[in-house]
Amino acid sequence: MPGRNPLPTVDVLIEVGDRIVLVRRKHPPDGWAIPGGFVETGETVETAGIREAFEETGLRVTLTALLGVYSDPARDPRHHTISTVFVGRAEGAPLGGDDAAEARLFGEGGLPSPIAFDHARILADYFRYKKTGEKPI
């Protein structure tokens, strides 16, 4: 798409105890996703991550780490996006809100299907990071 810039997005891997929160998308593309969304004008990626996490899960998140930046032009079938992906911590039970039809806690061994966007890759990077401390590049 000449002349059109990628859109900035943010995703937050929300840890609650030893599990993470995923949301079932209310709108296409269908599937389960890491809570997140578009960065609004005037917002930092950190502020956008905290806001999106709250809007989609009802959880107040404290960001704890930057996992990485994901920019594959094919990562979102709707348009080219660049996502800054954080790890965060929260307490309580997630409730689906905003663009999320449902929000639930999952462990590595029981992830739902299908996973939307490139979030299967991000989840694999996250679980590797938690085991080894190695971040993707």
The tokens for 137 are: 């590049």
For the question of residue 56 being annotated catalytic, the response is no
Please state whether beta strands 7-16 and 81-89 pair in parallel, antiparallel, or not at all (unpaired).
Answer: parallel
Alpha-carbon span 8 to 81, nearest angstrom? 6
- Choose the catalytic residue: 15, 102, 108, 134: 102
Alpha-carbon span 78 to 64, nearest angstrom? 29
The tokens for 101 are: 């039809």
Q: How far is CA 19 from CA 90, 92, 100, 114, 118, in A?
A: 11, 12, 18, 18, 20
Whether the Cβ atoms of residue 11 and residue 75 lie closer than 8 Å to each other = no
User: Catalytic amino acids?
Assistant: 102
